[in-house]
Amino acid sequence: MEKCPCGSGSALEACCAPIIGGAPAPTAEALMRSRYSAYVLNQVDHIERTHAADIRDTFSRAEAEEMARAVEWSGLEIRAVSGGQATDDAGTVEFISRYKMNGQIQIHHEKSAFRREDGRWVYVDGEMNPKGPPR
């Protein structure tokens, strides 16, 4: 039983594999986790098809393939989720992914926006290094 790369603690086959294979994600967070796992597993088709229609033209398959090949992924941490549940039409997921590239440990911090298109969750855009409200 192979653990899912997304860090859920579940088996890959019971977690992200069905979504990567084309099953609809039940929540925005599940889609976000599956997109991370797709990078780990070099499943770029999933990354491409889960972009919102209005941004799909800006997707660079070559860049995504290079990222998937060149990076040694080391973990995903979900920081916050807003909306994005089974009954919602939009949601956000703030996450941190860790990886090693060219021998250097890197951190990717993003607050991603998701919405439903034709009943399926898709990635809309992301805010890099999001800041919380002032204290």
Q: What is the Cα 15 distance to its own chain's centre?
A: 13
pLDDT tens sequence across 60-94: 999 999 888 889 999 999 999 999 999 999 999 99
The whole-model pTM stands at 0.93
Judged against a pLDDT cut of 90, whether residue 15 lies above it is answered with: yes
What is the predicted pLDDT for the residue at 40? 95
User: Per 3-state DSSP, what percentage of the chain is helix, strand, and coil (rounded to 5)?
Assistant: 30, 35, 30
